[in-house]
Copies of this chain bind each other. A is one copy, B any other.
Amino acid sequence: MPIGMSALLLDGRVLGSAILDETRIKVETLAQRGIQPSVVFIRVGEDPASVVYVRMKDQTAAKLGIRATTLVLDKNISQEELVTTIQKLNSDPSVHGILVQAPLPKPISEQVIFSTVDPCKDVDGFHPVNVGKLMLGDPTGFRPCTPAGVHEILIRSNIPTAGAEVVILGRGNIVGKPMASILVQKAPHCDATITMLHSRSRDIRAHCLQADIIIAAMGSANFLKADMVKPGATVIDVGVNRVPDASSPKGSKLVGDVDFDAVKEIAGAITPNPGGVGPMTIAMLMSNTVKACEIAAGS
């Protein structure tokens, strides 16, 4: 690409709203059968980011005609009480999807909690059964929303993945690992060569320079610099990092894992952040909720 040309912006708001439109049509089709998808969001405590995230999910669900309920639980709730709460929702046939917003307060094991959610209602895709199905290429499970959203960005932007060199920065259970599981499958829109890099990796820059697609999910502010990106590569920024910012009233601001202003001059396509992966995550959550409802309704 000519020097000085900026990258194509992969606009998650636009791509995500297309998914929301498709999801709304499915909600309407279910409504004709007298069925309304329903999801329960569980928030424990008042973590400020969680308050915002759950509110956004709740509002998006409402706009689509999905019945959304937010349970706000005291931050001192015991793990046993939380398990009991989830089990009641598991056995309530009027609830199709259950999402427990992370992070949970320290003494509570997220592993235990995520494993308590009925896999058929696990719209976050965090239950081991769904993680396993994802890895095995079994489409009957639920895909975790963020990597599924990244995958949709690539598909809907016609960015080829078959045989492509994909570098994933980060090996977390929420993004890095399931992202690799999705893109390595022998399947359409997958078939990528995957390299997973992380804090213990050497030669990160050399690996990144080989990549046709870089997915940054390390949780390290502005980690990916322009000199780590091959000209024309696709760059997806999953990071959400709060950094000090004297000019902001809060004294801080959110930035991604990609040094956007510099990288956009080198990359062929790039997600803005915010406005890239975030809206896709919410859209995939809605899509998963309707899928859970459709399966429960036997359609």
Give 27 CB contacts A-B under 8 Å.
A111-B136, A128-B129, A128-B130, A128-B133, A128-B138, A128-B141, A131-B136, A132-B132, A135-B135, A135-B177, A135-B181, A136-B173, A136-B177, A163-B200, A163-B201, A177-B181, A184-B196, A184-B198, A186-B199, A191-B200, A193-B198, A193-B200, A193-B207, A194-B194, A194-B195, A194-B196, A195-B195
Residues of chain B within 8 A of A138, CB atoms compared: 111, 128
A150 within 8 A of B: no
A191 CA / B171 CA spacing, docked (Å): 10
Q: Chain copies in the assembly?
A: 2
A152 within 8 A of B: no
Minimal beta-carbon separation of A108 from chain B (angstroms): 16
A127 CA / B135 CA spacing, docked (Å): 11
A103 within 8 A of B: no
Name the residue among A132, A184, A196, A203 with the largest chain B CB count within 10 angstroms: A132
Q: B135–A173 contact, CB under 8 A? A: yes
- Would A202 and B165 be within 8 Å (CB), given that A180-B196, A186-B171, A195-B195 are in contact? yes
A206 CA / B228 CA spacing, docked (Å): 19
B interface footprint on A157-171 (CB within 8 Å = 1, 0 otherwise): 000001101000001
7 other contacts beyond A128-B136, A184-B198, A194-B195, with CB at 8 A cut-off?
Answer: A111-B138, A129-B129, A136-B177, A180-B180, A191-B198, A191-B200, A195-B195
A197 within 8 A of B: yes
Closest B residue by C-beta to A206: B210
Residues of chain B within 8 A of A177, CB atoms compared: 135-136, 181, 184
Question: What's the tally of chain A residues with a CB closer than 8 Å to chain B?
Answer: 39
Complex interface residues of chain A between 115 and 170 (CB less than 8 A to chain B)? 127-133, 135-138, 141, 162-163, 165
Minimal beta-carbon separation of A39 from chain B (angstroms): 22
A186 CA / B201 CA spacing, docked (Å): 11
Closest B residue by C-beta to A196: B194
A176 CA / B128 CA spacing, docked (Å): 19
Q: A162–B132 contact, CB under 8 A? A: no
Minimal beta-carbon separation of A28 from chain B (angstroms): 33
A199 CA / B192 CA spacing, docked (Å): 10
Residues of chain B within 8 A of A181, CB atoms compared: 135, 177
Residues of chain B within 8 A of A165, CB atoms compared: 202-203
Residues of chain B within 8 A of A127, CB atoms compared: 132
Q: Which of B135, B185, B207 contacts A132 (CB 8 A)?
A: B135
A135 CA / B126 CA spacing, docked (Å): 11
A201 CA / B180 CA spacing, docked (Å): 14
Residues of chain B within 8 A of A203, CB atoms compared: 165
Closest B residue by C-beta to A207: B193
A192 CA / B196 CA spacing, docked (Å): 9
